[in-house]
A and B are shown apart, each in its own frame.
Chain A
Amino acid sequence: MATVAATAPGSGRPRRRLRERLGGIAWGTVAWFAAIIFFFPVFWMVLTSFKPESAAYTNPPKFFFNPTLDQYKAVFSTGMGPFLANSAIATVISVLLVLLLATPAAYALSMRPVGRWRDALFFFISTKMLPVVAAIVPIYLAVRDIGLLDSIPTLIVLYTAMNLPIAVWMMRSFFLEVPGEILEAARIDGADLRHELTEVVMPVVAPGLAATALICAIFAWNEFFFALNLTSIRSATMPVFLVSFVTSEGLFWAKLAAAATLASVPVLIAGWIAQRQLVRGLSMGAIK
């Protein structure tokens, strides 16, 4: 092997390695360039949030300035706290509810599939294809008539319904990844259904459960349409806060950037930490 390479004409080996190296550097440069372009608006949002208002409106834009926390103080002083709490409650409870409903359903559609599971699965997915707006009128009227306008439980129910199809679909794919043999092994080892689930199935699908939870949390946290139309003061969430902030405070960019940063940061950090699960979770369904 080595002799063959050494006798190759024109010492092709180092030259090829150099070309590969240069190619790698060029490749990396292009990738970094793309990443910087895509990330720039996020970076700019965070940067602007530390500017005094006067430094936000400049041409050319300012990259260096005396950072200040004034904008964050201003945002907090407008009473963001309750909105943040509402968002957190609606997100956390709806995600828990989604997992509670979707996990058994996905189990029934995968590991011990019921008859006509295909139809059931398709039904779940098809509800996702129907535009939400088309249902907003009766939902609004119904919620109004039972006196649940501007209440967090309303949002929780709707967010659960909104995320349930995706969660069922994802969880089903994760269940399908559990090798059938280990379930049989557990049965032979004497595990009953409860132990089969708690000892064998759940540890295997736990990362999938996390990925599902994360994706549902992102959609619930960012949801705007229901929150805008069905809440007003008591139970409005962060996206609504952003809107009301703009309306009441006017378009002050630095303050706006601070509010936007605060609204986005929980999901942003969660997403960064769990990006591996995110990749897996999103690609499920396309994989066998």
Chain B
Amino acid sequence: MATATADQAVHLPGARGQDRRSREGWIRRLPLMPALVFTIVVTQIPFLLTLYYSLQSWNIAKPGSPHWVGLHNYVDVFSDPVFYGALLHTIEITFGSVLIATLLGLGLAILLDRKFLGRGLVRTLLISPFLIMPTAAALLWKTTMLDPVYGIVNWVIGWFGAAPVDFVSKHPLGSVIATVVWQWTPFEMLILLAGLQGQPRDVLEAARVDGASAWASFREITLPHLRSYLELGVLLGSIYVVNTFDTIYMITQGGPGTATTNLPFYIYQRAFEGFDIGQAAALGVVTVVGTIIVATIALRTVFRVFIENESRA
């Protein structure tokens, strides 16, 4: 039996071999299919529908209102000052939080990379903010931490003679960013710590033998080695922080006024407080297109983590 088929495969490498190969290809692809189909159905079809709704004027509070309006919703979006504000706040929150969290995370990772008494416990304490439910974290920061009268932060700055500050109303964006940074610093720290610990020791020893100072070997060897970990951390952090909703919802509700309204929160308001489906959809499409543009540029220029990761395989 086996001999016969084998002979055919050898002597007739044409049609039959091709046939078998394509069938084998499908069998190989089979395990991928459920996940692929699921993802396409749940994530891609809604985006297509968003595109469709964005061309309609539709307010669910007014029954029977959907009708075709072409690009009217987009004209509204681009002439809406709140949209530009939301765009700006999205960038500020994402950029500010990820940058600060990554720098702090790098510092903490370097601290943790060296042995000292109770290192395990310190690491446990440091990762905790990441594990706290963001809704809970936002509430905590808004109340016990940042309250103008009873908040811990004001108590601490009082030691240095500073007058109490109403952070949430005076520095709303700063309050949001502080909370996000507190939650995402441990995340960045963990990724960078893994990077530091995955660093081959012999290279560092070689540098020391070559007479490099601690700073020089950090700059010349550790930092380049950390590059792909930094990229990964910034990328994953950005993906999540761009979508920040819970923190804003809990701390400021986008306010005061629209001072902390970012795109996710603005779309939410349009859809679920204004019931304006067409407008919300148009905002969504603009957000997606903007994200695609930024992500493509970022992936093509700065980030090599995906490309390198793939070519290694």
> A-side interface residues toward B, CB under 8 Å?
24-25, 27-28, 30-32, 34-36, 38-42, 44-45, 48, 56-61, 101-102, 104-105, 107-110, 112-115, 118, 120-142, 157-158, 160-161, 164-165, 168, 176, 218, 221-222, 224-225, 228-229, 238-239, 242-243, 246, 251, 253, 256-257, 259-261, 263-264, 267-268, 270-272, 275, 278-280, 282-283, 285-288
Extra 5 A-B pairs, beta carbons < 8 Å, given A131-B291, A137-B271: A27-B114, A34-B107, A38-B125, A239-B135, A283-B232
11 contacts between A and B (CB under 8 A): A38-B186, A39-B125, A58-B150, A107-B31, A130-B292, A131-B284, A141-B53, A243-B249, A264-B131, A282-B194, A286-B228
Q: Complex formed: what's the CA distance from A225 to B239 in Å?
A: 15
Q: Which 3 A-B pairs have the closest CB atoms?
A: A283-B194, A28-B116, A134-B284
Instruction: Return the chain B residue nearest A243 by Cβ.
Output: B135
**B260 contacts the other chain (CB 8 A):** no
Within 8 Å CB of B190, what residues of A? 278-279, 282-283
**How many B residues, CB 8 Å from partner?**
102
| Dominant secondary structure at the A interface | helix
Residue in contact with A133 in the complex, picked from B25, B53, B268, B313, CB distance below 8 Å = B268
- A102 close to B50 (CB less than 8 A): no
**B173 contacts the other chain (CB 8 A):** no
Interface-central residue, B136, B191, B263, by most chain A CB under 10 Å: B136
Q: Complex formed: what's the CA distance from A246 to B19 in Å?
A: 64
Inter-chain contact total with CB atoms closer than 8 Å: 308
Within 8 Å CB of A256, what residues of B? 139, 143
- A142 close to B133 (CB less than 8 A): no
Given contacts A38-B125, A285-B305, contact A164 B140 (CB under 8 A): no
Given contacts A31-B112, A44-B152, A279-B193, contact A267 B309 (CB under 8 A): no
**B175 contacts the other chain (CB 8 A):** no
Interface-central residue, A138, A243, A253, A268, by most chain B CB under 10 Å: A138
- A137 close to B108 (CB less than 8 A): no
Given contacts A137-B277, A137-B281, contact A268 B131 (CB under 8 A): yes
Within 8 Å CB of B119, what residues of A? 28, 31
- A121 close to B232 (CB less than 8 A): no
CB distance from A270 to the nearest CB of B (A): 8
CB distance from B279 to the nearest CB of A (A): 10
Q: Complex formed: what's the CA distance from A113 to B283 in Å?
A: 38
Q: Complex formed: what's the CA distance from A161 to B36 in Å?
A: 10
Within 8 Å CB of B42, what residues of A? 157-158, 160-161
Question: Which residues of B, 96-139, contact A by the 8 Å Cβ criterion?
Answer: 107-108, 111-112, 114-119, 121-137, 139
**B198 contacts the other chain (CB 8 A):** yes
Q: Complex formed: what's the CA distance from A217 to B285 in Å?
A: 29
**B3 contacts the other chain (CB 8 A):** no
CB distance from A44 to the nearest CB of B (A): 6
Given contacts A57-B150, A127-B43, A134-B267, contact A44 B144 (CB under 8 A): yes
Question: Which residues of B, 226-275, contact A by the 8 Å Cβ criterion?
Answer: 228-229, 231-232, 236, 239, 242-243, 245-246, 249-250, 263-264, 267-268, 271-272
Q: Complex formed: what's the CA distance from A174 to B132 in Å?
A: 27
- A109 close to B32 (CB less than 8 A): yes
Within 8 Å CB of B123, what residues of A? 275
- A39 close to B128 (CB less than 8 A): yes
Within 8 Å CB of A228, what residues of B? 249
- B232 close to A286 (CB less than 8 A): yes
- B31 close to A105 (CB less than 8 A): yes
Given contacts A260-B139, A267-B131, A282-B191, contact A135 B284 (CB under 8 A): yes
- B150 close to A105 (CB less than 8 A): no
